[in-house]
Amino acid sequence: QVQLVQSGAEVRKPGASVRVSCKASGYTLNTYDISWIRQATGQGLEWMGWMNLISGDTDYALKFQGRVTMTRDPSIRTAYMELSSLGSEDTAVYFCARGFGWFDSWGQGTLVTVS
């Protein structure tokens, strides 16, 4: 079955960067994009951007442009999201999810704490 498995929780100091990984399995990689969506504690969902795992094409939400970089290694079916210049407002759970329009499978989430 489709699975997206993310890397573990991270703690960073303000101003630092963090990279989260998302390993996909159970489906043909080039048929879906991977999006990144975050959720601050007790808050709603915020789309950060997406990437095509084969071509590497990306589209980032305006809010994160200049701070977010999405990359991938198709040989190991893994997508990465790096966020730089972290502030306390970036403390959140970061999800990878399959798709660009709607998101039909989600990773388990990675808690990033900036403190």
Partner 1 sequence: DIMMTQSPDSLAVSLGERATINCRSSLAVFHTSSSRDYLTWYQQKAGHPPRLLIYWASTRGSGVPDRFSGSGSGTDFTLTITSLQAEDVAVYYCQQNFTAPPTFGGGTKVEIK
Is residue 102 part of the contact set for partner 1 (CB under 8 A)? yes
How many residues belong to the site for partner 1 (CB under 8 A)?
20
DSSP 63: G
Kindly state the smallest distance separating residue 87's Cβ from partner 1, in Å.
21
Residue among 47, 79, 51 at smallest CA distance from 63: 47
Is residue 108 part of the contact set for partner 1 (CB under 8 A)? yes
Q: Which is nearer to partner 1, 74 or 91 (CB)?
A: 91
CA distances 99 to 10, 17, 41, 53, 93, Å, are: 25, 25, 24, 11, 19
Is residue 35 part of the contact set for partner 1 (CB under 8 A)? yes
Gap between the Cα atoms of 3 and 22, Å rounded: 10
Interaction mask 1-20, partner 1, x per CB under 8 A: --------------------
Is residue 27 part of the contact set for partner 1 (CB under 8 A)? no
Q: Provide the token pair at 59.
A: 């589209």
Q: Which is nearer to partner 1, 57 or 104 (CB)?
A: 104
Helix (H) or strand (E) holding 114: strand 110-114
Residues that bind partner 1 in the complex, under the rule CB under 8 A: 35, 44-47, 59, 61-62, 95, 97, 100-109
